[in-house]
Structure formats: C-alpha cells, structure tokens
Structure 1
Amino acid sequence: SLQRFWMLLIYFLLIYDSHNMSVCRYPLGMSGGQIQDEDISASSQWSESTAARYGRLDFEEGDGAWCPEITVEPDNLKEFLQIDLRSLYFITLVGTQGRHAGGIGNEFAQMYKIKYSRDGSRWISWRNRQGKQVIEGNRNAYDIVLKDLEPPIIARFVRFMPVTDHSMNVCMRVELYGCEWLDGLVSYNAPVGGQMKLPGFPVYVNDSVYDGAVIHSMTEGLGQLTDGVCGLDDFIHSHVYNVWPGYDYVGWSNESFPGGYVEIMFEFDRTRNFTSMKIHCNNMFSWHVKVFRQVVCYFRSESDWEPSPLFFSPVVDEKNPSARFVTVNLANHMASAIKCQFYFADAWMLFSEITFQSDTAMYNTTLAPPKTGLPPNTQPGQWRPTLCRGRHCKPARRDWQQHVRHPCADHGPATNQWTIIDTPGLLHCVPASSSTAASKSTTTSVGQDGVPHYAEADIVNLQGVTGSNTYAIPALTMDLLSGKDVAVEEFPRKLLTFKEKLGEGQFGEVHLCEAEGMQEFINKEFLFDIPEDQLVLVAVKMLRSDANKNARNDFLKEIKIMSRLKDPNIIRLLAVCIYSDPLCMITEYMENGDLNQFLSRHEPEGQLALLSNAPTVSNLCYMAAQIASGMKYLSSLNFVHRDLATRNCLVGKNYTIKIADFGMSRNLYSGDYYRIQGRAVLPIRWMSWESILLGKFTTASDVWAFGVTLWEILNFCKEQPYSQLTDEQVIENTGEFFRDQKRQIYLPQPVLCPDSLYKVMLGCWRRNTKERPSFQEIHRALLE
C-alpha cells in the first residue's frame, strides 16, 4: 500500500547522520569484483600468481594475495599496490588482510602507509589528524582489519605501501570504502587560517589537514572545508579527535585583510552548471565571530573570468549563536572555477564546510552505484539512487533496519509487527494484522474549517508535465470537473515568441514567451490591464511529443482544472494550443518573476540597505496575506497544492502575488527537492510530518507549508529552511514530531519577525492537524 511505501521510505532515510561517516562506507569494488583487473597495479610482483589483481580483500584466487618481488626493507617505500577508481571518490575507510591461501601462506603487513592522487601526477601522503602517517595493519594472515581514515581522502588513485621495522616478506589484500565525490571540487586556494587570542588560551583556526602547498596561502589542495565534519556551535570545542581548541574551523581575522574580505578560489574537475553553494559558518557573536556580511562570486568558464560577479547577502542574525549552513544561489552559472570574496561582518569569520550543488550532483539517479558497480552480495533493487546534496552519495542496502528507530519502537522490540494508523487528530501503533481494517475506517476526516481532509486514497493526483503534481484533488471534485468543456480558447502558435526556457520535467517543458494579441483571447471576466497593442509575457507549458498516453490525458485534465481556477491570487490559464501537437497551455507570468528570487534581491529598509544601495521592500505581511487568500480559495474547492513555497509564487506590479506550480521544474531550485528514483520528488523542508511519514496531503499539510513559506518571506529568502540540517536530519526531525517527546526542532524566529507572526507560524506547525489554523483564520490574522 502507499502507506507502507512511505513507511519503508522513512526507514531508508532515517539511517543517515551527516556527522557520522557511516553515511559513506560502502565497498568500492575490490572484494566484489567491480574494480577491474586492469585498474589494479603494483610496483612489482613475486610471481604471476601473486600479481596485483590478486590483492582483493577476502579473495583466495591465485596464490592468495599480492606479494611484491623483493623483501620489504624498513623505511623503503618503493613497493606499493595501486588502485585506479576511474573518477574521484570520498574514501572514509580501508581494509587490509594478509596471505592465508588455505593455511599455506603466512605473510601480512603489520603496518602500512597510504598515498593518494586526484590527477595521477601529484601524490599526497595521508596523515591522521595528529599528523601520523603509519597505519597499524594485520597481526595474522587471515583476519580483516578495518581502519577509519580520519580525515577522509578525496582521490582517484590510492596506493597501499607496506611498512616494516625489519626485513620481512609481506603480502596484502585490500579494500576501499566510501562513495563517489560528486562535488567535482579538486582544490581550493585560500589564505592560511589565523590564531585567536581568547582569555587564558590561544585558539588555532588553521586548516590542519590541508593536502596542498601551505606557505603564506593554501594552494592546490583540499582539507577541513571538505572533510565532511561540521563544526560545533561553540568553536572552542571540537569533535572527539583529541585535538586543540578551534580545530574544526578555518578562520580569518578582519585585521589581516585590509580589503575587508577573504578570497577563496575553487577549482573543479570540469565545467559544471552550478545551482548553489553551502557554507557552514560559526556565529558566536559574543566572541566577535559572525556569518559573512556579503559574498561576491566570479565564474570562470573556459579560460576567462566572467566580468559580472554574483552578489549575495545572508540575513544578519544577532539573536541565535548557533552555527549554520548559509545557502548561496549560484543561478546556474557554468564554470570550471569559482572565486568568492567573503566580507567580514565582525572581527572574525569561521568556516567548517563548503559544498557545491551542480548538474552532476543533482541529476544522477541510476539504480546502481557509479562506475564501480554494486557492492558484494547486493542485488540491483537494493540500491536507492545516488543522492548528493553536497558531496556524499548515500546508497541504501537491505541492512538498513538494524540502524533505524521505528516510530513504534516504544511499543516493544518486534517493530516489524507494528504499523502506524492515522485516525482523526491522532496516530496509533497497532499490530500489523489489524492495520488493514483500521485504515479502511479512516480515509477522510473533517478539518477545523469544515473542509474534508482527504487521505491519499481519495485523491486524484495529476502529474504535471514538468514533473510536479499540479494539485491533489478529491476524486468527487475531479468527477464534477471532467464533464465540463475547457473554458479557454485556442491560441495561434505563430503569435508566441520564445524568450527563455524556465524549466523542464519528465514529460514536458516550461517556456517564457511573449504573446501577441493575447488580449483578444482572454475571457472577458478576467481583468487584464495591458494595452491591446502590447506584448504579454506568458508561461507556456508544453507536452513533449514522446509523452505517453497517461501523460497526455493528465495534461488535458490539468487544462480543465486550471481553466476553472478564478482567483486574484492564483495564476490563470489564459489560452491553450490543443488542436495540434505539441499540446500547450498558456498561463500568466508576472514581470517580477518568482517571490524567492524577488525577495533575495531586496533588503529590509534600514542602514544595511542604505550602505549596500540595495532595493528595499517593507510590505511583507501584504505579500503573505495574498498567498493565504489564494490558498483559502484552493482549500474551499478541496484542492491541495502539495508544493507551496516562495519559489511557486509569482510577483507582479504593486507587489501582487499569485500562486503557481512550476517551481520544481527549474534547475535553480533542484536543491530544494529530495529525489527518489521512480517516486515523487519531495520538497521535504516544506512538508508536514504526516506528509513525509504517512504520505497524507491535506489542507492541513498545506497550512504547514504556508508556515514555512511565511518563514522564508520574513528571512527575505536569504536562507533555506533548516539550512543547518542535512536532508536526512530534516526527515529524522519528522520522526520527532511523530513521537512528540519535545525533541523536535522548529524553524527559529526570523530577526524581522514580530512575536505575533511567529505565533502564526508555530500554529501552522502543530503536530495535531486539527489544531492547525485554517487558511481563513490565517488570512484574517495577517490582515490584522
């Protein structure tokens, strides 16, 4: 059932933790055979039967291992076993084994070192966080010894180099564990970190694991900004590495930079289409450490830098000292290098992680792990797609159950015998045998506003051409609509002029076009204040010629539905092109674009806006009230939007706001969606707990999303919701809402948000759906 699918999904997603390297610890193919023989080489071999290809962990082929030609001497690192992974990987763990050969062999490496390379020419010696190179190996010929790489390495080529304290014969079998490095980042160049002199002790915020050249600056390397570890809120303390205060962060002092900024250049493996950059920043303003005031980024595509930079200013926060991720929208710039100037907001600026989202990272949705194939003993269906918000691919395996806390865990250890059942206003854990009968009695409930809240089973979902569910509509409403003719006219295609592609999905595309003579085709009851001789900006949804029959039928149903929506705050369907292929629907497009982009370009009225010469906007409540009004209209029709967010609201003249539905089709917002192969694309940071956990989409879940949208507006869309949490942590927080043990995390009160508005938000995020306000109540509160 759909409910069980969502439960299965939540189990898969809850196992991951961004601060735990177990998210990236999968064998890369030595033991499983996915790494080919030709990609395994060695400095020498004792015989053909101990060649490099026999150095696979837990294999007994040949004479049982790789053995070098000569005896390994102390401090003689000429012998090595080398693996070529064919592309960059984030490697967190290594395994070694000696030569057993069914009791005949007894050679093993008691110690070894690792060297690695990203390009095959510059080799780097791995060191642990205390600077030690030698790794303790095996004590016999048969046991497998696993060693964490702390810090992890980013490499294509890896060499295992046996080390001894006396002359001896050694043989090795090895495995690498990790996941593909989809950031594509091969180096960052930055000034060397500084030393803070706090009362009583110094705090060193230098990049102590940087693997490039370090003189006056750091060049051609990677280090703590890419090691997968986010610093704590209090930068003085560190994760458990037995290191000095400030270790997790790289930091710089304003006094050392006369220009008022720190410049960091990022080099990538090839030209990429960049969606966003996320910087994990400290914000302990009591120690004069703050998030950067502004960042200016330049992009190099081929050999030249683009003349026009990108500007971004995060929201200033002097209330919450927590460290957080700041997301910078890179607006789909094509680049092989990015140079960013981070401007100080106070005496110090501390970063612990910087990640990038690009076309490769966001659209790799194969069912098998990249290049090296499946891990051993894993069937193709056991993998979910490589999912990289940042750097780590996160394949899921059948052994996920042992890592997961089932929401019904408190009811006993046999969690597979319990199922979550939703009854109006409450969830129960019931024995699985009774779940079917229980669910049949709870398909609908009546919300506080008197509008039925329909369970998934009662809803007709139309898969929009761009991949989004246009609206979720009760089957009864759909039946009433299906008998009516389309209430819009056919529009001549020749009068449409293409301007730009706004986005695309599985079955179609969305284009921004200019329409000539549109005024003649619009229903007379629709107020249209554009002169007849003026071109009209429109969005054209177009169905691809290769779309299947179901997609075509859905497209025509979507036209019928859209033609019935008549509200000042809902995007209107203006005309169609359905007499010939490709099928098109033509909707309004507002001249100021979407609300997310509009607000991110503006600043609140005040001193900062005057200094930056940025445009200002002050009537945020008016904007939010219009969205509430549009949603009030949709809820009156029992329509569930399912993807309410600022990216899906358009801005017109005089701050007019209209709700749309094609934000998901735009690459610009791909980072806002959690992608799952063969299933929905989920805007989890805007979704209610019951939508994620149970697959229930109702007016009440739209209310939850409105609360998040209101939070975006009051932050001027400068920050993604829950920016300090990974996708997996967001979903894990969903489980806390279900368990309701007061451990759930709420979005914080924005700096510009009065208490009365934050109270509205918190009301939208109440656990019990019946306790959330209706859109009518929200609209009234915002008008007041």
Structure 2
Amino acid sequence: MCWRDRRTIMHLFLLLILQATAASGQIDPAHCRYALGMEDKRIKDEDITASSQWYETTGPQYARLNREEGDGAWCPEGLEPSDTQYLQVDLGRLTFLTVVGTQGRYARNSGNEFARYYRLNYSRDGLLWKSWRNRLGIMVMEGNKNTYASVINDIHPPIITRYIRVIPVTKLSTTVCMRVELYGCSWDEGLISYSAPEGQLMMQPGYPFANLNDSTYDGVHEKRRLFDGLGQLTDGVIGLDDFLRTRQFSVWPGYDYLGWRNESLGMQGYVEMEFVFDRQRNFTSMKVHSNNMFTHGVKIFSSVSCWFKPRLIAGWEPEAVTFNTVLDDRNPSARYVTVPLNCRAAKSLRCRFFFADVWMMFSEISFQSEDTILPTQAPLLVTASPAPEEGTITATPKTTVSPSASDPPDDGNTPVLIGCLVTIILLLVIIIFLILWCQYVCKVLEKAPRRILEEEVTVRLSSCSDTIILQTPPVPPRSGHAPTGPANADPHYERVFLLDPQYQNPAVLRNKLPELSQSAEASACGGGYAEPDVTQCTPHQCFHSNAPHYAETDIVRLQGVTGSNMYAVPALTVDSLTRKDISAAEFPRQQLIFREKLGEGQFGEVHLCEAEGLPEFLGEGSPLPERDGHSVLVAVKQLRADATSQARNDFLKEIKIMSRLNDPNIIRLLCVCVSSDPLCMVTEYMENGDLNMFLSQREIESTLTHANNIPSVSLSDLLHMSVQISSGMKYLASLNFVHRDLATRNCLLDRRLTIKIADFGMSRNLYSSDYYRIQGRAVLPIRWMAWESILLGKFTTASDVWAFGVTLWEIFTLCKEQPYSLLSDEQVIENTGEFFRNQGRQIFLYAPPLCPPSLFELMMRCWSRDIPDRPTFEGLYQALRPHVNQ
C-alpha cells in the first residue's frame, strides 16, 4: 500500500501511542457519554438524511441540537399517527450509543413545533434495521414539552450501531420538528454479532426461578438458538456475585446473566458460540465475565477452545487455541476470565466453553486485538448520576464539560512506559522510511492507490438505422488503439477493479489460476466470438456479446443525467442532433403541473406531474388509461439549468432511444418539451409504484390473509409478473439492447397490474443501498450483476439474463430481503471472484420457499458461470409462459 498524505503518518503515530498507553477494558455505559458530533458538526451534513422535509430550510442538515441554521430544525412533511417519518444519522463507524438528546424548533422564538414522543431504529450495516426497546419492552420514549429545552434520555439497554433513525411519534395529525444530539463512544471492539444457544430457566427448591435468557438480544430466535445479533453480553452491565440479584429495577432474578444447564444440551458438555466482527483483526485475548456461585452448582468454564475464520465465506482453520482455567471452589465471586488468543487473525471466531459443573453463566464477553483503535475523548455529557430507567431530565443547552483527568500513573511503571515509547518512535522512523520508499516506487511504476473512480464505458449496439450505445463502467484501451468515444472524452482512465490486482488482466488470471478451463477463457472473451487463447483477446473480442454486432467499448457515463440508465447515439454531436431526430411530439410546457420530486441524478431530476389535456394531445391509440377528466399523472425527466453541454447531448440522445421503444411491458415515452429550456421528457407514470414496494407490502395468498383482509398475492400472480418481465426483456434483446439494471425496483405496475420495465431505480434515494457507492454516488447494482460485468466491465444480454434470475428470486421472496443480505458489498464482490475461479466455493442465492423447484432450476441456469450456458430471454419466456393460468 502507498500512503500519500502526511496526515496518515500522524494518525498512525497517534494510534500507536494510544495503544501503548491506554488500558483496555469493557465499555462502561455510565462513562461512555460523549457528544458524537451533531452540535459541533463533526457529523457532516451529507451523513444526515430524512424520509421527508417540508422545505429546503427544514431539511435534515438542520436537525442539530442547540443550533438555529435554516428555519431552526428538521421538520418532516406532515405527520399522521400511522406514518413512519425518520431522521437518519450515519455515525461513520460502529458506535456504543447510550444517550439521545432532543429539542423542538425554537427558531429565535418563532417556532412552535416539537415531538412529544419518539422511537429509535438502528442498523449496523445500513441494510437490516432493528427497533430499539427498553428492558421492559417499551419502544416509545418521552420527548419534548416545549420548543427550547433539551431533553436527555438514557438508552437502557445501549445500542451498538452505525446508523440511527429518530422516528417522531404522534397520536394526532400534526406538524413536528426536531433537533438531536447523540451521545456514546466508539465501539472499537468491532463485534457485530454473536450466536449462542438460548438461555434457560433455573428452578431450584427453596429459591426463586431464575430466567437466564438474553432478553435484549436483537437478532433472530430460531430453534432455541440466537443468531446474528447482540444483547446482554455486550451491554456493559456486569452481573453481581449472586446471580439472583440484579442491577436493574423491576426485572426478574437472573436477568443480568445468560446461562445454560449441562444436561439440557444433549450431554455434549459444552456451549458453542460464534462471534462475527466488522473486519479482520489480530486477536490477543478474550475476556469472559462468568459467575462462580458454586453453592448453586454454577462455576466458570473448565476450558475453552476457539477456532478462527479469516473471511466469512472461508472455512474454519483446523488449528484451535485451547485454554484451561484454574477452578476456584473457595471464592464464590463472579469474575473475568481472560483467554489468550495468541494474536490469531480472523473475522469470525467459534468458541466452545466446557462445563465445570451443572450450570455456566456469562454476563459480558469482550475481545482485545492489536489493531483496536481507541476513541479520542470528546466533551463528556454532564450528568449528576445515572438517570432512572426510561426517565428523562431537562437540561439547558450546551451543558458539557471536559472529562476529569485520570490519576497519575504509578512511578514504578514509568521506566517501562518510556521504554515502550522509545521503541514505538524507532518503529515509526522505519515505517516512515518504508512509506517514502513506497511512494517513490509508486511514482516510478505510475500506479495510483487502488481507488474507484467514476468511469465510463460505451457498448455500441447496432440497429437497423443507427448505432445505439449504452453506458457501462469505463474500461481503458487494452491495446495501443485510441478510444473511439466522443471527441471530448478524456483518454486517461483507470480501470475499475474491485478485487485484488490480479483481476486486472485476464492473462494474469490464467497464469494464477491454472484450473481456469478453455471454455471459461472463451466465455470471458464473449463466448464463441473470442480466440481460444485469452492472452490474445483484443478489446474488440473481449467485449463481444452473444450477438455478433457488439463492438469495442468507448467511454461515456454509467449514470444518466437524471440518475437513471442512459441510452445514447454515439455518432451524433450536440450540433448535429436536431429536433427532426426526435420522433416524440412537443407538448405545451405550461400544461405540466409539478407535484412531487421522485428522484435525481447529477444533472437532472425526475418529477411526478399532472399533464392537462394529454389524452387529447396524443389522440387515438394513446397508451394512457381511460380517465374521467383531462389531467393524468406522468413522470417527467428534466435537465437542470447547470447541466453541461455533454449532459445536454446525452439527454437528447436518451430521448431518441426512448421514442423508438414500443412494447406493452416497456415504459413509454409519451412526449417531450425540447423547444426551450429546461429540456424535459414525459413518460408513463404507474399508479401502483414499483414491484419491489408492491410485493414487500403483501403476503402470499392464504385463508388467513382472506379472513383478515391482508393485502396478498397468489403464486399465479407471481408467475404472471415473471412472464411479463421476460416478455419485455425479450423485446429489448430483439433490438440488441442491454438494460444493465434489471431489478424489481425498475419494474413498475399500473392500476391493472401490468408490469412495465423502466430505469428510475438508480435515481431514487429509497434504493440507494442497492447500489455500490463510489465517492458518495450510487453507481453499480453489484448484487444483481453477473461476475463478468463486475470483473471485466462486460454488459451483454447474457448479463441481463443473470439479473433476471436475481429479479425472479426477489419476486418469489416477496422482496422481503435484499439479495445476499448476509454479505456486505465487499463480500459480494469477493464472491464474484469465486465465480471466476470456478472452484466450487461461490455462494448462490438460496431457493425461496414459495419457488417451485423447476423455477429455481431456471434461476440457477441464469447464474451459470459460463455465458453460453445461460438461457436466452426468448427461452425464458417460453419456459415461464406455460406456468401461467390462461
């Protein structure tokens, strides 16, 4: 790795000093109460988002405690009792959240809005959201009683999260506004979930029942096991010596401990737990707080064995670390047992704790690693004493003081500390020398650090009258030939490769992966149109598709000017593209009434509009549904005034392509407004929204759904939807047209539940998490992309078939989860490398319970590693059509 910024060196120096001098230990919620940066703007504006806002001046960036910018607070657009409007904050890293402070909109004594109640949702990965509950199961917290005073709520239990949503709650339709500060400290331990058997009930004669379950666990409870969550073992509350006593009020005996009985676990003699971390770490030790009340048959574990997994999709390493504890039958005190882990590197651990007696109970588990980053202490929130459970206190603004200094270190440790610091300084000198040498090598080799740029590639597609191009990620020339894109395109591009550098060159891959077959090499170069030797693959060959008229790639933008896919005509310039090239009719601009902004891109926006007199304007054969009045809803893509000339040209090209698409399952371009600025294209608007939202709000049809009037769909409905999508894609494929972003979010439904394929998904914030973010912009829908699209930048009809298989999977899971929901974006990309290597380690999507076996087999064919093995859209349509009830 090459580091260019001197700040990196200083940061590294600070971290090493902190690691050498700070004492490790479990987080104490009573002291983990530092302001996280809403008020002082350490949390940036772009990290604060919201579901809605009344005006630009009441946007989420103004939801900062004790500040008065804009109109004084964040205000959601209206609030009904059934609404779920939220303010979302990205904390930038995993955080141990202990306190939330809120205010209303004071606005220099002109505001009158505040939230009397609110609740919290949180997510550690931005995908899976959980609802916070206190120790009694209550979700709603008391908020403000006026517009100016801040109210501080302690969070019991605390939350370990990166993303937090503050959701105002109201009993009446009203307007609310909020300002917020969050308090806590960094969760540098990095533990994101643990799995374990469920805790059990202890019943002993003469003693009260002790319920030893994990009552605050936020993961999945299934088959008497806990999966993928965190709970009482990470809440910072240490159990007492007597497990029947608790530190909380109004809870049951045994509350602070998670415990198991030996005989109830099948006489296996141990409890097995798994721990998953945010990244790979070098683990030095594990600390387990265990009860040892041996008079009740409870002891610390006799021994523990831990196995390590470097990556989530890898196997467990065979060599385990084993530690035998020293049992104590004289002192019944609960205690921490420190288990050395020998600096083993892993992202996941599996540990077996062996019983020493009838019962084993844990209240806290923490991990220490060499690369743990200790938090920089920010101002500490002032509280005289821990607040009562769910109690609130009213505080005046800006009541913070610096934390008190710790006691001076013992003089006996001073020589050791000085020796450590001298050693660290010497190591830093060596590191700085290596960094400078690395920079020199980087300059010589003209290599930049591995980073992802906004790159552009154009795949030319032939049609009967002109050549059509489609945006895809940029690819540099693979030979000495200059790129053949637009004249103003920058010829200096860096290739996008999201995996190891070995993926940059197919020839290198062939050398590093001798198991790569000739057929796989051929498919990487376009199936039957490539030379047998991958080292001879030219740019023209490597980006052939399964149609003979795909040509070599050029450079244009991946994301369209309005945030959707862009379709363009490469041979035309701004000057040569005139009104006569556009077949859509010019609609009177004054008859468009703007209602709502649906999404936006770099240079354009998508609006919901009313079009007055549009049916009469279009005349007979209009694709619009019949209406009683003269106004119909339409979607309008509009080019912004600050758009570049290149964006303007791209927008006109997109209009030309859209005006030539005519299929019942493809969104239609109705008319345009291009005689004056801003340029607009008017398309159909679907009353039932997108298929993802439609299905996620429904259940599969059953007697229960009928009896309770629950919105539902039948298996026949799902099959009919699949046939419609395959029909629309068959039409696009017949024109040698590649979509590149096929997914349920891009399938729209009208009021008759007819599906029309569109391309708005990339422009909508609702689906931003479905795209791999590059420099803050949503660019690549990697969870729907074929391996060759991610690794080679190759987009063809065959890669659309892959995406169609994922879309089918979405449909038959009723869009209840994201594809590969258990994998991070980086792990999804890593999994595509396994598809390339083809060693049987790649992870496929599971078979949805609603999906017939024959249909899942069809999905698996869509995900074939070799391109020629995937079905065509014509074949998919013919295979699906017989399943639909005529």
How does 1:65-76 map onto structure 2 within 5 Å?
Answer: none
Aligned to 1:95: 19
The equivalent position to 2:677 in structure 1, one of 581, 588, 591, is 581
Aligned mates of 2:784, 2:791 — CA distance in 1: 13
Does the 8 A contact of 1:488 with 1:522 survive in 2? no
The answer to whether 1:411 aligns with 2:511 is yes
Alpha-carbon distance change, 29 to 703 in structure 1, aligned in 2, over 3 angstroms: same
Does the 8 A contact of 2:691 with 2:744 survive in 1? yes
How does 1:169-568 map onto structure 2 within 5 Å?
Answer: 190-191=134-135, 218-220=156-158, 222=160, 228-229=190-191, 231=193, 235-236=196-197, 281=220, 283=222, 285=223, 287=224, 382=449, 384=451, 408=508, 411-412=511-512, 422-425=524-527, 435=535, 437-440=536-539, 442-443=541-542, 445=544, 447=546, 451-452=547-548, 454=550, 457=553, 463-471=559-567, 485-522=581-618, 524-531=620-627, 533-568=629-664
| 1:614-667, Cα deviation, whole Å (9 max, x unpaired) | 211121111111111111111111110000001001101221000011111110
Deviation at 1:281, TM superposition (A): 3.3
The answer to whether 1:597 aligns with 2:693 is yes
Deviation at 1:256, TM superposition (A): 8.9
DSSP-derived class of the 1:655 partner: coil
Alpha-carbon distance change, 409 to 496 in structure 1, aligned in 2, over 3 angstroms: closer
Does the 8 A contact of 1:188 with 1:222 survive in 2? no
Deviation at 1:613, TM superposition (A): 3.6
DSSP-derived class of the 1:96 partner: helix
Aligned mates of 2:655, 2:710 — CA distance in 1: 40
Aligned mates of 2:832, 2:806 — CA distance in 1: 14
The amino acid of 2:873's aligned partner reads F
The amino acid of 1:281's aligned partner reads V
Deviation at 1:469, TM superposition (A): 2.4
Deviates more, 1:655-664 or 1:466-475: 466-475
Does the 8 A contact of 1:645 with 1:708 survive in 2? yes
The number of aligned residues is: 494
Aligned mates of 2:603, 2:525 — CA distance in 1: 37
Does the 8 A contact of 1:459 with 1:474 survive in 2? no
- Which of structures 1 and 2 has the larger relative contact order (alpha carbons within 8 angstroms, sep 6+)? 1
Aligned mates of 2:581, 2:590 — CA distance in 1: 25
DSSP-derived class of the 2:607 partner: strand
Deviation at 1:729, TM superposition (A): 0.9
Does the 8 A contact of 1:453 with 1:700 survive in 2? no
DSSP-derived class of the 2:19 partner: strand
| 1:108-162, Cα deviation, whole Å (9 max, x unpaired) | x9x676978664489xxxxxxxxxxxxxxxxxxxxxxxxxxxx986599xxxxxx
Aligned mates of 1:471, 1:517 — CA distance in 2: 29
The equivalent position to 2:861 in structure 1, one of 763, 775, 784, is 763
Aligned to 1:633: 731
Alpha-carbon distance change, 381 to 263 in structure 1, aligned in 2, over 3 angstroms: same
Aligned to 1:657: 755
The equivalent position to 2:705 in structure 1, one of 596, 609, 633, is 609
Aligned mates of 2:877, 2:730 — CA distance in 1: 8
Aligned mates of 1:262, 1:535 — CA distance in 2: 55
Alpha-carbon distance change, 262 to 559 in structure 1, aligned in 2, over 3 angstroms: farther
Aligned to 2:262: none
Aligned mates of 1:703, 1:324 — CA distance in 2: 37
Does the 8 A contact of 1:645 with 1:706 survive in 2? yes
The answer to whether 1:32 aligns with 2:128 is no
Deviation at 1:456, TM superposition (A): 5.7
Aligned mates of 1:444, 1:400 — CA distance in 2: 20
Alpha-carbon distance change, 383 to 696 in structure 1, aligned in 2, over 3 angstroms: closer
Alpha-carbon distance change, 726 to 482 in structure 1, aligned in 2, over 3 angstroms: farther
DSSP-derived class of the 1:725 partner: coil
* Structure 1, unpaired ranges of 5+: 1-10, 13-25, 36-54, 60-93, 98-108, 123-150, 157-180, 194-211, 238-243, 246-254, 265-278, 293-322, 326-352, 354-370, 388-397
Alpha-carbon distance change, 680 to 523 in structure 1, aligned in 2, over 3 angstroms: farther
Does the 8 A contact of 1:411 with 1:429 survive in 2? no
Aligned mates of 1:520, 1:554 — CA distance in 2: 30
The equivalent position to 2:876 in structure 1, one of 774, 778, 781, is 778
Alpha-carbon distance change, 28 to 753 in structure 1, aligned in 2, over 3 angstroms: farther
Alpha-carbon distance change, 488 to 742 in structure 1, aligned in 2, over 3 angstroms: same
Alpha-carbon distance change, 677 to 439 in structure 1, aligned in 2, over 3 angstroms: farther
Aligned mates of 2:551, 2:826 — CA distance in 1: 25
The amino acid of 2:809's aligned partner reads W
Aligned mates of 1:595, 1:472 — CA distance in 2: 27
Q: What TM-score, normalized by structure 2, do the two folds share?
A: 0.47
Deviation at 1:221, TM superposition (A): 5.2
Alpha-carbon distance change, 402 to 119 in structure 1, aligned in 2, over 3 angstroms: farther
Aligned mates of 1:262, 1:514 — CA distance in 2: 52
The amino acid of 1:424's aligned partner reads G
Deviation at 1:498, TM superposition (A): 1.7
Deviation at 1:429, TM superposition (A): 13
Alpha-carbon distance change, 324 to 674 in structure 1, aligned in 2, over 3 angstroms: farther
The equivalent position to 2:813 in structure 1, one of 715, 729, 740, is 715
The amino acid of 2:844's aligned partner reads Y
Deviation at 1:402, TM superposition (A): 9.1
Alpha-carbon distance change, 536 to 426 in structure 1, aligned in 2, over 3 angstroms: same
Alpha-carbon distance change, 383 to 746 in structure 1, aligned in 2, over 3 angstroms: closer
Alpha-carbon distance change, 401 to 704 in structure 1, aligned in 2, over 3 angstroms: closer
* Structure 2, unpaired ranges of 5+: 37-92, 99-123, 138-151, 164-186, 201-209, 230-273, 277-347, 349-375, 378-430, 440-446, 455-496, 515-519
Alpha-carbon distance change, 30 to 112 in structure 1, aligned in 2, over 3 angstroms: farther
The amino acid of 1:32's aligned partner reads I
Does the 8 A contact of 2:94 with 2:162 survive in 1? no
Deviation at 1:452, TM superposition (A): 3.5
Does the 8 A contact of 2:612 with 2:632 survive in 1? yes
The higher radius of gyration belongs to 2
Deviation at 1:191, TM superposition (A): 2.8
Aligned mates of 2:125, 2:719 — CA distance in 1: 40
Deviation at 1:601, TM superposition (A): 1.2
Deviation at 1:754, TM superposition (A): 0.3
Aligned mates of 1:56, 1:541 — CA distance in 2: 50
What percent identity do the matched residue pairs reach? 49
| 1:743-774, Cα deviation, whole Å (9 max, x unpaired) | 11111111110011111111111111111111
Does the 8 A contact of 1:569 with 1:627 survive in 2? yes
Deviation at 1:223, TM superposition (A): 8.3
Aligned to 2:840: 742
Aligned mates of 1:190, 1:383 — CA distance in 2: 44
Deviation at 1:428, TM superposition (A): 10
The amino acid of 2:719's aligned partner reads C
The amino acid of 1:616's aligned partner reads S
Aligned to 1:316: none
The amino acid of 2:761's aligned partner reads G
Does the 8 A contact of 1:460 with 1:474 survive in 2? no
Deviation at 1:577, TM superposition (A): 0.9
Aligned mates of 1:481, 1:783 — CA distance in 2: 41
DSSP-derived class of the 2:636 partner: strand
Q: What TM-score, normalized by structure 1, do the two folds share?
A: 0.53
